[in-house]
Chains A and B, each alone.
Chain A
Amino acid sequence: MLDTDPAKKLSFNRSISNGDLVIVYERHDNMKAVTISEGSVLQNRFGVFKHSDWIGKPFGSKVFSNKGGFVYLLAPTPELWTLVLSHRTQILYIADISFVVMYLEIVPGCVVLESGTGSGSLSTSLARAVAPTGHVYTFDFHEQRAGSARDDFERTGLHNLVSVGVRDIQGEGFPDEFSGRADAVFLDLPQPWVVIPSAAKMLKQDGTFCSFSPCIEQVQRSCETLQTSFTDIRTFEVLLRTYEVREVKMDGVEGNESGSNGSHPCKRRLCSDGSNVVSSSISSVMARPCGEARGHTGYLTFARLKCLS
């Protein structure tokens, strides 16, 4: 996904090869991650697609099935990955992810601690932000989940940037080896306040902290605990409203005798009763918010380690 190998970099000359991870795009709400394997096929409602037909095509190609149905083959990005990954837990979505990365001031070279790993949706974006010289250490107490996350990072090619540890962070705190080494700490845990003292210990001076909690009661307790060694404590909620765009043809019919209708394209036709009717068809592109949206994901509480020097 993050191609440090220049030969793998997205380019006009880069084409899909055996072993590549591609995102198969049917529609904006229907995508699937596929690892290309020469003898394999993809079967969906559009028919059967042979992987071998895809090899050698550029990313972004439209490819056809045996029945003439088509899909697009896209190069993976953390945003697309978030839409296709297998949900082992509730995951973070783009609005929260983007805001977290920016607000934690994560840049290349940073060391970031995260718990829990969950499905690795945020970890993928954290990895992108710290690349090529930084590292993300992510912890989950669920051994199988940690294993699946590790497999995913291998598959997306991020294994050099993310290490997954099996550890009960709420019970044990972060490992001592990271003391004073972290630029940022991110928590998505049921009782984040328990971990705040450990997070403070891990952070460099002026280091950034974020906790994601769905419930305000969790936020309340976290903020109280943060007062001791953190400053600049701020809680946000970030949501997205999406818009649908449509070209609408509107008919304006006026029954008048002399039809000079300004700039609109007019069609003049004779009605059966012999009178002149000006029928103007105006076509315009209009946008409106989509009817349904995610109403709540979680509260994001940010803070900065107090500067004691």
Chain B
Amino acid sequence: MSENNAIINGRTTWEGCSVLLDINDGDRLVFARLSNAAKLKIGNKNYSLQPLIGCAFGSIFQAESGPHGPFLSHSIQGNDKTEEMKEGQVNDEPRDNRALIDNNTAQSLTGDDIEAMRREGARGNEIIEALIANSATFETKTSFSQEKYRLKKQKKYAPKVLMRRPVARSICEAYFKKYPTKIGFLRVDTLSLLLSLANVSSSSDVLVVDMVGGLITGAVAERLGGTGFVCNSYLGKSPHSMDIVRIFNFSDEICKRILRSSISDLLSQNESPEQVLEHTDVCNPESQSNEQTCPSVSVEKISLSSENGISDLGAENTENTNIPSKRVCKAAKAGEKAPPEVIDSWKEDGFSSLIIAAPESDTWTLVKDLLPLLSNSAPFAIYHQYLQPLATCMHNLQVGNMAIGLQITEPWLREYQVLPSRTHPCMQMSAFGGYILSGTKICDIANSIST
């Protein structure tokens, strides 16, 4: 257990570890798997990721060129720059840009000069200092724009790589920023609300319909921490992609808790007492004990073996630049087909909660089918980019007296720039993070009256 915790809360990388590389303060975000062979391309140079192995998450690396080619060097986070920022008091600044003439002659250093410096082994920071020394206008800039200038040059001549831990927060933010369509425009605050509203907690069995690349499945599994189950369910025969799950550094214990099942398998064999009541079948609840002998068991075992090939794809890289990972990395093997005995236990006890993010399926049809699989008093949360499917679903749930505490919410998230005398909301924001319909399933009326 302690070993598992070390991996979950792992704060130092290892070979085969998945990382999120943040290049130049979010300009580029790359998911990579660390190995001696893995390379990261910045500009036109390839940098080996080998120096990142065994370093702490949160470490910053500087791209440098050395006698043996370009390399990433571990840099210590100082507070030099921030100190300069602090001194930049805007209001009592005598300098301004009235004398600025944009004629491209301010910089006397040429591209050839810089190349020459590089050949002589100048470090990125030295090039930046030379550029500043040779800039005719630098001294006349306000300290704020001096800082901006420095930052711009740093990005070009001394690129910075911040190594982040791939967790639900960073993965969701990275996708939302670079590939929002792959996660159905699910913003991080919306994801956080889904997890809360569905009461995702250790030892719970969470049913999900995840058509957002596995982000929800992964986020739920992270909260379960190797207890309970997350059941990734799907309509029809082919499961939805859960590639994102493999970006998390999940221990085997956690991976074992991520199972897949088709919705029809979950709905078949109405053996649980609840199901029996619902369909008013004349059936003896005792028949549960017989379910191990059901003919469907053998069928499921056959398809189990064909599922095994799905997970291993090697290095993850959203940028599609080449990070070759020749070495077969040990990727998390999550999403096995749910064994029949686990499905039976879900049918008997009911799921603890339900999360749906299925933009391509009819919301009400899904909810109508899946709600009976939840225990009574179980909460559910449904995500959608559009309001109408949720409104219709909410109305039907109300009319059908199937749930209470129904609410449609839309989260709103605004970030602020906080600087001395320069605090204001950020100029750009995400205007939309999706809608959530949430509620609590209640007992069937027939059921509660009869007892």
Contacts and interface: CB of A to CB of B under 8 A. Distances in A.
B223 A107 contact: yes
A131 interface: yes
Interface in B334-392: 348-350, 352, 375-379, 387-388, 390-392
A288 to B, nearest CB: 9
Contact of A240 (B203, B349, B410, B451): B410
Contacts of A250: none
B197 to A, nearest CB: 6
A243 B391 contact: yes
Nearest to A229: B79
Interface string B403-446: 01111111111111011100100000000000100001111010
Contacts of B388: 285, 287
B165 interface: yes
Contacts of B79: 227-228, 306
Interface in A169-211: 183, 204-206
B448 A128 contact: no
A32 to B, nearest CB: 14
Contacts of A271: none
A253 interface: no
B404 A25 contact: yes
A14 B86 CA distance: 59
A132 B409 contact: no
Interface stretch (A40-48, A73-81, A145-153, A255-263): A73-81
Interface string B167-207: 11100000000000000000011011101110101111000
A238 B413 contact: yes
Interface residues of B, number: 85
B76 interface: yes
A204 B11 contact: yes
A88 interface: no
Contacts of A231: 58, 77
B196 A125 contact: yes
A247 B395 contact: yes
B161 to A, nearest CB: 13
A289 to B, nearest CB: 8
A227 B86 contact: yes
A74 B406 CA distance: 14
A2 B273 CA distance: 24
Interface stretch (B142-150, B224-232, B309-317): B224-232
Given A74-B377, A235-B415, A241-B412, A4 B407 contact: no
A224 B83 CA distance: 10
Contact of B273 (A10, A13, A110, A237): A13
Interface stretch (A91-99, A113-121, A136-144): A91-99
B451 A57 contact: yes
Interface string B233-275: 0000000000000000000000000000000000000001110
Contact of A11 (B202, B349, B413): B349
A56 B413 contact: no
Contact of B420 (A99, A224, A235, A245): A224
A14 B375 contact: yes
Main secondary structure of the interface of A (DSSP, over half): mixed
A62 B377 contact: no
Contact of B165 (A3, A75, A206): A206
A102 B410 contact: no
B1 interface: yes
Most A-side CB within 10 Å, residue of B409, B415, B418:
B418
Contacts of B409: 240-243
B138 interface: no
Contacts of A101: 192, 195-196
A236 B423 contact: no
Contact of B169 (A61, A102, A108): A102
Contacts of B165: 105, 206
A14 B410 CA distance: 33
Given A95-B189, A237-B414, A60 B9 contact: no
Contact of A108 (B225, B273, B390, B395): B225
B60 interface: yes
A133 B2 CA distance: 10
A132 B177 CA distance: 33
A58 B196 contact: no
Contacts of A123: none
Contact of A239 (B76, B376, B387, B411): B411
Contacts of B273: 12-13
A235 B352 contact: no
Nearest to B167: A105
A28 B406 contact: yes
Contacts of B451: 56-58, 61
Nearest to A2: B201
B59 interface: yes
B82 interface: yes
B203 A75 contact: no
B32 interface: no
B394 interface: yes
Contacts of A219: 416, 418, 423
Nearest to B347: A12
Given A58-B376, A62-B442, A236 B414 contact: yes
Contacts of B53: none
Given A12-B375, A97-B196, A287-B408, A245 B395 contact: yes
Given A62-B443, A235-B415, A2 B202 contact: yes
Interface of A: 2-4, 6, 9-14, 25, 28, 56-63, 72-75, 77-79, 94-95, 97-99, 101-103, 105, 107-110, 125, 128-129, 131-133, 183, 204-206, 216, 219-220, 223-224, 227-228, 231, 233-243, 245, 247, 285-287, 289, 299, 301, 304-309
16 contacts: A3-B203, A9-B349, A10-B375, A60-B441, A61-B448, A98-B193, A105-B168, A107-B9, A108-B202, A128-B199, A133-B225, A224-B86, A227-B79, A241-B411, A245-B391, A299-B416
Interface of B: 1, 5, 8-9, 11, 56-60, 76-77, 79, 82-83, 86, 165, 167-169, 188-189, 191-193, 195-197, 199, 201-204, 222-227, 272-274, 348-350, 352, 375-379, 387-388, 390-392, 394-395, 398, 404-416, 418-420, 423, 435, 440-443, 445, 447-448, 451
| Ranked 10 nearest A-B pairs via Cβ | A108-B225, A60-B376, A206-B58, A60-B377, A102-B192, A59-B377, A11-B349, A307-B58, A287-B391, A98-B192
